[in-house]
A and B are shown apart, each in its own frame.
Chain A
Amino acid sequence: SQQGEEDPQALSIQEGENATMNCSYKTSINNLQWYRQNSGRGLVHLILIRSNEREKHSGRLRVTLDTSKKSSSLLITASRAADTASYFCATDAGTSYDKVIFGPGTSLSVIP
């Protein structure tokens, strides 16, 4: 079964608003990653946050990690139409350092 679960499954916002996506997982992890995928395209790596980190920033992206709740959030501030994409969290499997398991993803639509 998949390790991560995202919510919401779909999110529609106006340009300029902030978008928050959440991810929950089931087992202990070494790190959690967020990826973006434009329709029918490959994946773009956004951020990797390690289990001993609580927050990380990259440009307009802010990722938090709460290992006690086994959850993470991705915040995109001042969204743009170009941010329209699917966003996935991915966690290592816990027992194998290399294997990465993806959550079901959140489909974000930013309306101009």
Chain B
Amino acid sequence: GAVVSQHPSRVICKSGTSVKIECRSLDFQATTMFWYRQFPKQSLMLMATSNEGSKATYEQGVEKDKFLINHASLTLSTLTVTSAHPEDSSFYICSAASEVSYNEQFFGPGTRLTVL
């Protein structure tokens, strides 16, 4: 299947700082990318849907000013957690889909964020 990478895989930051997470589709053009958050022993919760060249669509309860999403190209989407706090500590996973892949999403390996 298609390959999606995330960088960094782990990040530890101080409270109040901003953290940027990158999601790249390595061998296909992703028209749509999704960002999920997963707390320990819980399921993945969709945060937002990102389409190349347009504004992201955020799920109810997700603050768009806190979780900035940029999908500047067909192979890269970034999630910036602004002014991170300990409650933002979580596992962030992106996925990518293309018109060719129909409805199958290809998931990145995830980024473990720890806010001290």
| B108 cross-chain contacts in A, Cβ below 8 A | 42
Instruction: Count chain B residues whose beta carbon lies closer than 8 angstroms to a beta carbon of A.
Output: 24
- B44→A88 contact, CB < 8 A: yes
- A43's partner among B42, B97, B107, B112 (CB-CB below 8 A) is B107
A30 to B93, CA, bound (A): 23
- Measured as residues with beta carbon below 8 angstroms from the partner, the interface class of chain A is 20 to 34
A98 to B42, CA, bound (A): 22
CB A93 to nearest CB in B, in angstroms, measures 9
CB A106 to nearest CB in B, in angstroms, measures 10
A103 to B38, CA, bound (A): 12
Q: Mark A58-96, 1 if CB is under 8 A from B, else 0.
A: 000000000000000000000000000000100010000
Residues in B lying within 8 Å of A, measured CB to CB:
1, 32, 34, 36, 41-46, 49, 91, 93, 95, 97, 103-110, 112
What 19 new A-B contacts, CB under 8 Å, besides A42-B108, A43-B95, A102-B44? Answer: A2-B43, A30-B103, A40-B91, A40-B112, A42-B107, A43-B93, A43-B107, A45-B106, A88-B43, A92-B103, A98-B32, A98-B103, A99-B49, A101-B46, A102-B36, A102-B43, A102-B45, A105-B43, A107-B41
